[in-house]
Structure 1
Amino acid sequence: MLLTDHLEELRRRLIIVVVAIGVTTLGSYYFSEELFRLLMAPLLAAMPAEGGLIFTGLTETFFTYLKISILAGFFISTPVVIFQIWRFSAPGLYADEKRYVFPFVFFATIFFVGGALFGYFVVFPFGFKFFMGFATDFIRPMPSVREYFSFAVRMLFAFGVVFELPVVTAFLALFGLIRAETLVNKRKFAILGAFVIAAILTPPDIVSQLMMAGPIIVLYEVSIIVARICGRKKKVEDEDEDEDD
């Protein structure tokens, strides 16, 4: 296939992706208020009965609703995006590479969503309850719509990415790029790195950082187990190939 054919194929796939995201974004805007209400439910549950969010700019709420519609559009159209990426890249993959694509995409999606749900149902309620404990008769919580949206999306995305660690480890171990013994030897650096990552991805408070660093460390230990299992599988496959030769 010529370069121009590749570019034409890429253009066609991109058009399909853009149209899919655009259509789902427009449809999501109709439910943007309900989506934002769902997003801020953990915060409202922790706030005083008369508490709520405020907006300090005339366009703040509108653009927040627009942003959440775009995010929902991306999420809903993810199957279309993944399918188009697959159709474009599949012809260039070897057979042994193709058999790993579906499990990798499937588990990557599951773990990302699982991480976001962990942040929403576990971290948010605990964290918000802790922070609201600083409210007094003369200090009242008044978070803005834009501030909360940015905070919530950043945290949920961060937890989703962090939960990809076992999946990435499995992928690397299957191709012999990493070994369980290496992960064990680097454990102390991983613990330090967990707190560094938490400091980068979360707001600058110790509670948020601890609530992210803890799961990272647990996921690192899970990754060691995954690497051992995948490493054994690769070893068996390599031995079978040697016997065939």
Structure 2
Amino acid sequence: MTTENGKPEELPVTAQEDAAPAGDPNLEDPGLDEAAEEEENDGRMTLMQHLLELRKRVVRCFIGIGVGFLICYPFAEQMFRILMDPMTKALTKVTEHKSVLPQDFFEKFQQAVTQGLQGTDFPYMDQLPTFFDSLQQSMVKVVMHQGQFIYTYPPEAFFAHVKVGLVAGFFLMSPFLFYQIWGFVAPGLYSHERRWIVPVAMISAIFFVAGGLFGYFVVFPFGYEFFASYASDMISFTPKLSEYLGFSLRLLIAFGLVFELPIFIFFLARIGLVTHKGLRRNQKYAILIAFVLAAVLTPPDPFTQSLMAGPLVILYEVGVWVAFVFGKRKKKDAEDQEAPEVATEDAAEEKTEKQESA
């Protein structure tokens, strides 16, 4: 079309776009751009939104711990006895080894007295075992209460049961708590990576509980027996309730957190922040950090520190293999795999051109 002056009429921009061929690859669909931009910005949040999300997750965590406490507190007495059991056994074992008289002395003495009183009118024959048990405990070279703890503050025993209920509720609700933690991280992940949130939260809870069980069944028996063995003629070991309970609960939570190391490395490897080669290269620094971290999380003694640092080094090695298997592949590796195919295609085209020219 032309105007009255003979010049070609210019179509509007929209008309030119409508007139463009539908199969032109150089033109981009605005609708696709908007969809891609929405998908890219889907996980972006402002600082205020991050703070609000953090507050929401923290409130949910406190509510979850409260629910776990209400569920576990009715069983606090049973869990309290279970938690005291490692130290009770350690005290009993050390006491038996430090007895003034042989172990069978009291058994034979009880049998002799019982036989001597047979046929007499002694009215307390059924209480003789209790008497000899008390006599055996009183003849211990190191004076200590077998399986007993002391407390000096009146409500101390009550708060001990409350602490046990809180920690038990924390372990019970750990899947929900870890889901809230990973849910807070989710906005920074891609959509296909967010599908891992629930499985990773469950695995994190399993590793956390496994760490606590490792501390209770492996570390506690050896550790408490080692500490109780330092009692002597001049040193009497009578554990205080609040100090022992705080020590034990801190160790349980510390071992639970330490067992999260493979999950943490898995997350960093999936987003490409660490690789198995880098982890292997920095292994000596990781061992040093393991002992430093164990010194911070455990009491200042080399025995307990080694009991935590050892599993931490092993878990780091497990994390290296996790990064090797599940780590994000770099673009360079993909290009290296595509390079032989591109070279083959170039060689085929060059051969075809030579045949045509011939």
Using structure 2 for the length normalisation, give the TM-score. Answer: 0.58
Write the deviation string for residues 147-200 of structure 1: whole angstroms up to 9, x where unpaired: 011101111111111111111111111111101111111111111111111111
User: Aligned pairs, how many?
Assistant: 240
Q: Which runs of structure 2 are paired with 1:124-143 in the superposition (5 Å)?
A: 124-143=220-239
Sequence identity (%): 48
For 1:11 and 1:214, how far apart are their aligned partners in 2? 36
User: What residue is the counterpart of 1:44 in the other structure?
Assistant: 88
Mapping of 1:232-243 within 5 angstroms?
234=329, 239=334
Aligned to 2:197: 101
2:277 to 181, 190, 200: 181
Residue 38 of structure 1 deviates from its aligned partner by: 0.9
Deviates more, 1:186-195 or 1:75-84: 75-84
* Letter matched to residue 117 of structure 1: L
Give distance in 1, aligned partners of 2:254 and 2:205: 14
Structure 1 residues 14-163: aligned runs within 5 Å: 20-48=64-92, 50-81=146-177, 94-163=190-259
Answer yes or no: is 1:193 the counterpart of 2:237.
no
Gaps of 5+ in 2: 1-45, 96-145, 339-358
Aligned to 2:319: 223
Tell me: CA distance 1:181–1:25, structure 2 relative to 1, closer, same or farther (3 Å).
same
TM-superposed deviation, 1:111:
1.2
Separation in 1, partners of 2:286, 2:63: 41
Q: CA RMSD in A?
A: 3.3
Q: Which has the higher contact order (CA 8 A, sep 6+)?
A: 1
Report the CA distance between 1:5 and its aligned residue: 11
Q: In structure 2, what residue type is equivalent to 1:131?
A: F
Separation in 1, partners of 2:292, 2:186: 37
Q: Is the 8 A contact 1:55 1:61 kept in 2?
A: yes
Contact 2:64–2:176 (Cα < 8 Å) also in 1: yes
The answer as to 2:167 corresponding to 1:167 is no
Verify the 8 A CA contact 2:175 2:202 in the aligned structure 1: no
Change (3 A) 1:112 1:21: closer
Give the Cα–Cα distance (whole angstroms) in 1 for the partners of residues 322 and 171 of structure 2: 28
- For the pair shown, the structure with the greater C-alpha radius of gyration is 2
Displacement of 1:30: 2.1
In 2, Cα distance between the equivalents of 1:186 and 1:92?
Answer: 27
Separation (CA, whole Å) in 2 of partners of 1:10 and 1:189: 32
Per the alignment, in what secondary structure is the counterpart of residue 72 of structure 1? Answer: helix
Q: CA deviation at 1:16?
A: 6.5
Richer in helix (by share): 1
Is the Cα–Cα contact under 8 Å of residues 87 and 147 in structure 2 kept in the other structure? no
Q: 1:235 to 1:103 in 2, by over 3 A?
A: farther
Q: How far apart are the structure 1 equivalents of 2:207 and 2:199?
A: 12
Runs of 4+ in 1 over 4 A off after TM superposition: 3-20, 79-94
Shift of 1:234: 3.8
Q: Aligned partner of 1:45: which letter? A: K
Q: Is the 8 A contact 1:51 1:141 kept in 2?
A: no
Q: Tell me which moved more, 73-82 or 10-19.
A: 10-19
**Equivalent pair of 2:69/2:168 in contact (CA under 8 Å):** yes
Which deviates more from structure 2 when the two are superposed, residues 31-40 or residues 45-54?
45-54
1:206 corresponds to 2:318: no
- Structure 1 alignment gaps of length 5 or more: none
